[in-house]
Structure 1
Amino acid sequence: MNKMKKKVLVDAIKDELETFRSHDVDEQILGRIKNADLKSEMITDKLNINDLHILQIIGTATNIRISDIANHVPLTQGAVSKIINKLSDDSLILKKHRPTNKKDTYVELTDNGLKINDIHNHYHQKMDQQLIEFTDEFSKDDLKVIDEFLKKINLIRNID
């Protein structure tokens, strides 16, 4: 099978799995974070997957504004603002203003925010590698069927 076409299919399946998993709190990631050497265990008891995704966005960006974060997640600007305030209160992020622009608020990770984000990213890297190894057993046609199946599962889960 053409490696590029297979990679596209594997990426599509990964996206569907992420959508599927995002409906449930990922206990493995949160469990690893709770076991981490952080300054406050109380912080980790309050985290959820949306918090981790916001930390991940902040961790991969430079000079990111709060208003920009909502463009990267399936959350409203209001929900993002609430999460940002919570993460700031828990000392996982710092909110800053530029001397020349007091209107926009920029955010960056603190040391604890970096640790949590590193654990989260490491988990995803490990899962991505395992998925690649796992999908080597399947043909392109098999992967297409799996992708379509997961899309239908996600449609069922999204019914109001």
Structure 2
Amino acid sequence: MNKEEQAMMGLWDIFKKKMWLDSYKMKDSLMGYNPSEIHCIAYIGDDEASNVTKLAESFNMTRGAISKLTKKLVKKGLIESYQKPDNKKEVYFRLTEQGKMICNIHKEMHREFENRDQPFFEQITEEQIDVILGFAEKYNMHLDAEIKKLGVDMKSDNL
């Protein structure tokens, strides 16, 4: 295995372990809610002017998929839709009291994850972080270019 393959495998292992650890901790506190629902609730909690368009762009999903997700959240009593007095065309979303509780649990869990990982990051130099950030930026640009070559919209092509 060459160094590029080792690097990619190492990154994939980090991602899988972090996702597993985070999910393991969240499953008891947020049982009954899937990750899309939780992240949609968190986004709406952070953005007072959340609408289908903003959510679709943020989650790289189609407007249709976001409409389904928000309808499900409305039905579960976690969010409610509303219109601004000066804009009767656009529908916006806000959290209900139950949605605010879920949002707060989610935020608290993220604080726990940051606290869990802080001792590791205290060992890392700023130069090392800069190398990682540079790699991530360049690799993302490369992948964006490859996606663009395919002429495919990531939002509409669920793999």
Same fold flag (TM > 0.5): yes
State how many pairs are aligned.
126
Residues 51-130 of structure 1 correspond to what in structure 2 (within 5 A)? 51-130=37-116
Match of 1:33 in 2: 30
- Whichever of the two has the greater Rg, that structure is 2
The 4+ residue runs of structure 1 with deviation greater than 4 A are 139-148
Relative contact order higher in (CA < 8 Å, ≥ 6 apart): 1
Q: Sequence identity of aligned pairs in percent?
A: 24
Residues 131-142 of structure 1 correspond to what in structure 2 (within 5 A)? 131-139=117-125
**Whole-angstrom distance in 1 between the partners of 2:37 and 2:68:** 10
- Relative to 1, partners in 2 of residues 1:72 and 1:85: Cα closer, same or farther, differing over 3 Å? same
Q: TM-score, normalised by structure 2?
A: 0.63
Aligned-pair Cα RMSD in Å:
3.5
- Relative to 1, partners in 2 of residues 1:17 and 1:125: Cα closer, same or farther, differing over 3 Å? farther
Structure 1: runs of 5+ lacking an equivalent:
1-12, 35-44
Contact residue 25 and residue 49 of structure 1 kept, 8 A: no
**Whole-angstrom distance in 2 between the partners of 1:24 and 1:80:** 27
Q: Deviations over 1:48-100 (max 9, x none)?
A: 10111110110001122222111211322221111101000100001012233
Greater Cα shift, 133-142 or 56-65: 133-142
**Whole-angstrom distance in 2 between the partners of 1:107 and 1:132:** 34
Distance apart, 1:139 and its partner CA? 4.5
Contact residue 58 and residue 108 of structure 1 kept, 8 A: yes
- Relative to 1, partners in 2 of residues 1:97 and 1:141: Cα closer, same or farther, differing over 3 Å? closer
Greater Cα shift, 132-141 or 50-59: 132-141
- Which of 4, 11, 34 aligns to 1:48? It is 34
- Relative to 1, partners in 2 of residues 1:146 and 1:102: Cα closer, same or farther, differing over 3 Å? closer
